[in-house]
Structure 1
């Protein structure tokens, strides 16, 4: 049983380890880095985040169902998802988790900002979703190991700015990626090829829009309430399926 559990979730645990190590390195360098370097590093990460978001959003153009383009589906999903997210207060609830951890750890600094930003950044994207499915179905953790390396390096500059809150995003990685891996057999049985499934492409495109929001926040161009759009990731494939039936 334990071997089977590791077989299905190994990529997630490797990902957690790299994020924790990256956080430790980032926090240890925090007091040693000049203020100008501390400022330029998140700007560089912000620019890279914008590029990643733009790359992901292009998947929306690869989806069409009953003559309805993926861009329109994405627009409807992100609008409905944002409305639901605000109604449910997801931004405040996710911030509340960070605030609760900060209070109980009695840690000063931008704990919540780091926790929220990296939790979304590390968990929203095609590699996290498809990699978790592959790990759960086939025991293939290749994609998640690649993601783990990227997340580990990204954790260093994030932790140098936000502090230990970045490391606690590993809890979200465990819940999200581990959960998807364990439930992959249930949710992915109807997918011939997860990498080209239009429902996953929609999720990827909408995730890209959310990643763009994180990039704008990092560059302090805008204050996008990214967490409020999380329901859109569920609405998009449901909307696709409903239109496909008509």
Structure 2
């Protein structure tokens, strides 16, 4: 039975709801310092996944080609537009999200959409549970997402809770899809896939910390390319 996606989605829903209710009542020092901790945690989890890489050239090539595709199709811009629509929906229920400037809101919203819906841990955790029945990866991610959603919702409002819907859908599709993908994968392909996801998590961590705004959403196609390139590399070399 698949349970990880439901636990993870519930964490985002609850965290976002509580954060939206607290709003500015949460001390400013927590709202400023805690995202830095979340960014560092994201980078650390990313590093752990990167260290599991089976073929380093596969990881590098996937990231480069994936980012190139993402830039050419303006993937991050598309996600930003969806984020703007989500903000419009959320503003009906929350005044918090209306307090943010458009640019700042979209920049933050894109970052957490990627963190919640398309992080290496979330994608790998979903597929891992589908293949093995072990939900521990997604449960661990849920703790991080619970507090992350709460902190960001104090400024972005209920829009943060809305992310649980696409997150749940994506993770369920990946978890159940992994059952069919499993016969066509190898441990090396899974390791390279996780490593690519780890790179995205590191980039997301830098973005959350405000160190460097990497175009993380434009890098998402790398996750699609990772396994095919890994298979090709193993077959040729």
| Same fold flag (TM > 0.5) | yes
TM-score bucket (shorter structure): 0.7 to 0.9
Whether 2:45 is the aligned partner of 1:52: answer: yes
Cα deviations by residue, 1:64-96 (Å, 9 ceiling, x for unpaired)? xxxxxx222211111110000011111001111
RMSD: 2.3
Could you tell me whether the CA contact under 8 Å between 1:22 and 1:155 is conserved in 2? yes
Call closer, same or farther: CA 1:90–1:179 in 2, change over 3 Å. same
Could you tell me whether the CA contact under 8 Å between 1:23 and 1:167 is conserved in 2? yes
Whether 2:56 is the aligned partner of 1:71: answer: yes
Match of 1:171 in 2: 165
Call closer, same or farther: CA 1:35–1:126 in 2, change over 3 Å. closer
TM-score w.r.t. the length of structure 2 is 0.84
Q: Quick one: distance in 2 between partners of 1:100 and 1:136?
A: 32
Could you tell me whether the CA contact under 8 Å between 2:129 and 2:135 is conserved in 1? yes
Call closer, same or farther: CA 1:224–1:146 in 2, change over 3 Å. closer
1:131-146 equivalent positions in 2, closer than 5 A: 131-136=125-130, 140-146=134-140
Structure 1 unmatched ranges of 5 or more: 1-6, 64-69
Whether 2:192 is the aligned partner of 1:207: answer: no
1:79-158 equivalent positions in 2, closer than 5 A: 79-106=64-91, 107-108=97-98, 109=100, 111-125=105-119, 127-136=121-130, 140-158=134-152
Cα deviations by residue, 1:5-57 (Å, 9 ceiling, x for unpaired)? xx34x321222112111112222222112333321121222222222222222
1:181 to 175, 184, 189: 175
- Secondary structure at the residue paired with 1:221? coil
- Secondary structure at the residue paired with 1:189? helix
- Secondary structure at the residue paired with 2:234? helix
**CA positional deviation for 1:142:** 4.3
Match of 1:66 in 2: none
Match of 1:221 in 2: 211
Q: Quick one: distance in 2 between partners of 1:175 and 1:230?
A: 17
Call closer, same or farther: CA 1:220–1:82 in 2, change over 3 Å. same
Match of 2:94 in 1: none
Could you tell me whether the CA contact under 8 Å between 1:210 and 1:226 is conserved in 2? yes
Cα deviations by residue, 1:126-181 (Å, 9 ceiling, x for unpaired)? 54344423544565544433433332233222323433232122122122111012
